[in-house]
Structure 1
């Protein structure tokens, strides 16, 4: 049994790091979310509201008439395009859970401390910016093709954001992680 642990030590270290970071950040995020009453008062957390405002500003920048309104009977922000209610921005739209998953993988497959920290910060900023663009594009697509909501919201746009995260992971493992450094030598 001891030989198996020795043989698969890098795998176990990866799992321990991944789950430690993932669970730790998820608990912190849940603690943050617990400050808002989304069941009775339908409060929307500040970061989700920030994302909704940034989506609105992105649409306004591209000369689309857009506005926001807090939903009356659910914890979400309604987004209107040309006075048409096209989408609601909920907590799951803010991509923080995607950033947590991204961060856990990068830390678990760590490289040098400074490279790891910089890649996590840069990756999370990129994920955030692309997520705002993703939601803005989704809103435009829903305005013109509302009958394609399931395909757009359920397949195309999640594939985009998770594809970017996967691409960042591949770059990290092949260029910056300790694994890449060992292979380069």
Structure 2
């Protein structure tokens, strides 16, 4: 059993590192400079966050032209600058990280190395859920920025990173427990 797990772990880590390296280079050398996906995700994130803020009673606005690199969500009546959404914060890298781990994670279905079809729906669902967590993050950060701008950096850099990565780990945990097939192996042994 130990050699089986060791081999699976080595295969998983090797594949995850390879796929993440491919994702990283693809993102920085092809996707980011040559496509508009980052801007589209940032804009979508800003618009949905703004709608959420309006829905819960805040008078917020999205500024598209403050800089070319960022979209800003801020409160209409506030003199404070609001929350900037740029390429590093729009969640695309998290989508890649989430997907790479699930793609690389070995699954056991009926045959020893067959493809687990649950990945075909769980990865897109996970990406949508991560995006929604990011929407809530931007909305809450916009509220924080309107009341206490000094607290924005701590909450951006610490609080919401812990929340977001914890959510991604929860999704991975759910995947492993419910859909990877490893629970069935553990019960048999």
Q: CA deviation at 1:74?
A: 4.8
Aligned pairs for 1:44-63 within 5 A: 45-63=39-57
Report the TM-score, using the length of structure 2 for normalisation: 0.81
Structure 1 residues 168, 36: closer, same or farther in 2, change over 3 A?
Answer: closer
Deviations for 1:56-102, whole angstroms, at most 9, x for unmatched residues?
12112222111122344450012221333211111122111111111
Structure 1 residues 160, 80: closer, same or farther in 2, change over 3 A?
Answer: same
Which of 80, 92, 95 in structure 2 is aligned with 1:96?
Answer: 92
SS at match of 1:80: strand
Residue 65, structure 1, aligned to residue 59, structure 2? yes
* Kept in 2: contact 1:33–1:45 (CA 8 A): no
Equivalent-residue separation in structure 2 for 1:7 and 1:102 (angstroms): 22
Equivalent-residue separation in structure 1 for 2:178 and 2:5 (angstroms): 25
* Kept in 1: contact 2:52–2:139 (CA 8 A): yes
Q: Which residue of 2 aligns with 1:23?
A: 21
Report the TM-score, using the length of structure 1 for normalisation: 0.83
Structure 2 unaligned blocks of 5 or more: 108-114
Query: May I ask how many residue pairs the two structures share in their alignment?
Result: 175
SS at match of 1:88: strand
Equivalent-residue separation in structure 2 for 1:69 and 1:8 (angstroms): 51
- Superposed CA RMSD in Å reads 2.3
Q: CA deviation at 1:150?
A: 2.5
Which of 157, 160, 173 in structure 2 is aligned with 1:170?
Answer: 173
Q: Which residue of 2 aligns with 1:41?
A: none
Deviations for 1:92-114, whole angstroms, at most 9, x for unmatched residues?
22111111111111122243521
Bigger mean CA deviation after superposition, 89-98 or 12-21: 12-21
* Kept in 2: contact 1:110–1:116 (CA 8 A): no
* Kept in 1: contact 2:66–2:72 (CA 8 A): no
Which of 69, 75, 84 in structure 2 is aligned with 1:75?
Answer: 69
Equivalent-residue separation in structure 2 for 1:80 and 1:149 (angstroms): 12
Which of 149, 160, 163 in structure 2 is aligned with 1:160?
Answer: 163
Equivalent-residue separation in structure 1 for 2:133 and 2:31 (angstroms): 23
Structure 1 unaligned blocks of 5 or more: 38-43
Q: CA deviation at 1:16?
A: 2.4
